[in-house]
Amino acid sequence: MDSPTQWQLPATHPALAPGQVHLWRLSLLVGPEQIAASRSLLGPDELAKAERFHFPRDQRRYTLARGALRRLLAAYLSRPAGDIRFVYNPQGKPALPTAELSFNLSHSGEIALFAFGRQGRVGVDIERHRPLDDLHALAESLFSQRELADLHSLPQAQQQTAFYDCWTRKEAFVKAIGDGLTYPLAQFDVSLLPGEAAALLRVKEEAQPANRWQMAAFAPASGFSGAIVVEGQGQELSFWGCAG
Ligand SMILES: CC(C)(COP(=O)(O)OP(=O)(O)OC[C@H]1O[C@@H](n2cnc3c(N)ncnc32)[C@H](O)[C@@H]1OP(=O)(O)O)[C@@H](O)C(=O)NCCC(=O)NCCS
């Protein structure tokens, strides 16, 4: 899978063929009309979830991301956005009731990412780089032994970016699987060293994870890390959107 950095703004909604994966990047910094338009697309459970956020900022981001997800799915499925129904696995991963399209989304700060494919599962993650006082303690609780060794081998000035690169790659993988953070995070290794291609290096009890999963890393914007994991070999990734 390539990881180009050009985000294209399509004139019309791009068709998604089997073997292709589309990654969309959208800004969540929009005006009240767009928030209202997104809210009008949400189902009762989504509206109830939006209400439960403590901070208005989180409610806005959730509402906009769900609205955008519905609009993008509607374009791929040629169906009204408000008619789309979701099902959830026990760990909360949303999916369509039929297997016609798989998708995943992530947001951090004011950027949202949406991944769509027609074959296999997908997982995507974005993280804004925030200074972390407890970077090493966090890494100890989240990373595998190999990842910790790689992180510690780097000069301090490179460790924050490497931390977020590693973290987004790990999250994209557990989101593709659908287990989220219930998946044992120390039982697989991803690459994190600068200049090293994004890769799933080892999954415990899986002899050749590289044959089953594709991983790509990209910069959603300056100061962010992003990663996508797709099930299956040789899928072609393209980048769409207009934020940043
Ligand atoms: C999924 C998870 C990794 C998200 O982490 P995050 O960095 O806070 O959030 P992101 O922005 O990257 O992703 C959130 C989106 O991922 C999707 N998502 C939710 N659960 C998911 C899962 N298990 N796997 C993949 N994607 C998931 C949703 O679309 C969610 O967006 P939404 O809240 O707008 O619906 C984390 O919340 C998790 O591990 N959840 C599972 C925990 C669990 O078992 N819960 C059981 C009760 S439902």
Question: Does residue 170's CB lie within 6 angstroms of at least one atom of ligand 1?
Answer: no
Ligand 1 centroid–CA 91 distance in Å is: 8
Burial of residue 71 (number of CB atoms within 10 Å: 0-12, 13-18, 19+): middle
Question: Does residue 94's CB lie within 6 angstroms of at least one atom of ligand 1?
Answer: yes
- pLDDT 10s digit of each residue in the chain, 244 long? 444 467 888 888 999 999 999 999 999 999 999 999 999 999 999 999 999 999 999 999 999 999 999 999 999 999 999 999 999 999 999 999 998 999 999 999 999 999 999 999 999 999 999 999 999 999 999 999 999 999 999 999 999 999 999 999 999 999 999 999 999 999 999 999 999 999 999 998 887 777 899 999 998 999 999 999 999 989 999 999 864 4
Ligand 1 centroid–CA 92 distance in Å is: 6
Candidates 105, 98, 47; CA nearest to 77 is: 98
Question: Does residue 58's CB lie within 6 angstroms of at least one atom of ligand 1?
Answer: no
Question: Does residue 171's CB lie within 6 angstroms of at least one atom of ligand 1?
Answer: yes
Strand 200-203 to 213-218 pairing: unpaired
Ligand 1 centroid–CA 156 distance in Å is: 30
Residue nearest to atom 29 of ligand 1 (CA): 105
> What are the chain's domains?
20-125+233-241 (3.90.470.20), 130-221 (3.90.470)
pTM of the model: 0.95
